């Protein structure tokens, strides 16, 4: 099946909003998809020569509840289950279309569904999917280790097949990735039991100490080289709290000491240059906590870098990418 893979990245983009905010303690990320659109995301992608189709926002209004018993310490399990099942199905369909899906969140709970559907597609083609988790948090808790019960903090663990949410997808196929296919990047807030689990699974963690010591360029190059050596592809799960709060205040779980504006752009530029990125999440943007749309505009600029915008053609930061331009 490898011959079916084209070496050139797809030029078609499929955008899907996932307005979910019940996986986090701070409500408001359900307005994230609208804020990213308003900040000019689709306009920018179109300017980069990409064929962009906006599929609107996913709805779970008609989803049927399952009968499995909700686990303890998993808040809003039933509604999140509806979201995850629907997102997995749609992610699989969009990936099969040959487009690069971009999922607009919404809290990081959505990745349980989006990544699972993307993995299913690449598994059928015979390719490994690696996940770059750009995030202040590891999100590697389970119902047995979580301190809060918030399910956005369990997403990476779920994707790696950790137990505790075994019936979350119902009859939807679950295809966990190997822990070796998860790359945590920019991490700086990890719970103790979560850290123990990460170490036992030997998850790759490029935390902010390592970024300070070696630089983002060296560390993201290691990820790229690893994926290329195994003939894999990349999913970028971009939690906006990866950035320092001074750059991106519009998130509900700010952690000081995050990536700078320039560090984040370098990561995105190098990921673009690799030619490996085939799907993206943008999560945890909370417009109610933002400063006049600054975080949304910064996120859009970074996605521009991920899809090929160059320094020489980039407008003045946070100024010139509005929808009316």
Catalytic residues: 108, 135, 137, 139, 152, 239, 241, 284
Strands (E), the chain: 12-18, 51-57, 100-105, 129-134, 182-187, 204-207, 233-239, 277-283
Q: What is the rounded distance in angstroms from the CA atom of residue 121 to the CA atom of residue 96?
A: 6
The residue with tokens 């209004």 is 61
Half-sphere exposure of 76 (CA within 13 A, CB side): 18
Q: What is the rounded distance in angstroms from the CA atom of residue 29 to the CA atom of residue 229?
A: 37
The span from the first CA to the last CA of the chain, in angstroms, equals 43
- Among residues 26, 29, 117, 21, which one has the least CA distance to residue 76? 21
Contact 39/293 with Cβ under 8 angstroms?
A: yes
* Beta-sheet pairing, 100-105 with 129-134: unpaired
Q: What is the rounded distance in angstroms from the CA atom of residue 129 to the CA atom of residue 323?
A: 33
């Amino acid at each position: 099946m490898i011959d079916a893979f084209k070496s050139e990245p797809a030029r078609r983009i499929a955008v899907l909003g996932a307005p979910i905010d019940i996986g986090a303690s701070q409500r408001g990320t359900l307005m994230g998809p609208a804020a990213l659109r308003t900040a000019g995301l689709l306009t920018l992608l179109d300017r980069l020569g990409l064929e962009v189709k906006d599929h609107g926002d996913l709805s779970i209004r008609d989803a049927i509840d399952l009968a499995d018993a909700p686990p303890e310490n998993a808040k809003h399990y039933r509604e999140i289950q509806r979201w995850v099942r629907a997102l997995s199905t749609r992610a699989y369909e969009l990936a099969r279309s040959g487009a690069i899906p971009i999922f607009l969140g919404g809290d990081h709970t959505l990745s349980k569904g989006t990544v699972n559907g993307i993995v299913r597609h690449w598994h059928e083609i015979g390719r490994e999917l690696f996940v770059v988790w750009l995030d202040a948090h590891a999100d590697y808790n389970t119902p047995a280790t979580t301190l809060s019960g918030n399910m956005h903090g369990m997403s990476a663990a779920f994707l790696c097949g950790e137990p505790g949410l075994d019936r979350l997808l119902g009859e939807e196929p679950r295809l966990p990735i190997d822990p070796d296919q998860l790359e945590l990047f920019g991490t700086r807030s990890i719970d103790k039991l979560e850290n123990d689990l990460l170490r036992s699974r030997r998850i790759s963690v490029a935390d902010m100490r390592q970024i300070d010591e070696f630089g983002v360029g060296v560390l993201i190059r290691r990820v790229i080289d690893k994926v290329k050596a195994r003939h894999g592809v990349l999913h970028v799960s971009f939690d906006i709290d990866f950035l320092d709060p001074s750059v991106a205040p519009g998130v509900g779980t700010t952690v000081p000491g995050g990536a700078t504006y320039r560090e984040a752009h370098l990561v995105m530029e190098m990921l673009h240059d690799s030619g490996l990125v085939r799907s993206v999440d943008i999560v945890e943007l909370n417009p109610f906590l933002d400063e006049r749309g600054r975080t949304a505009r910064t996120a859009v600029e970074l996605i521009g870098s991920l899809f090929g915008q160059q320094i020489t053609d980039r407008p003045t930061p946070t100024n010139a990418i509005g929808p009316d331009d």
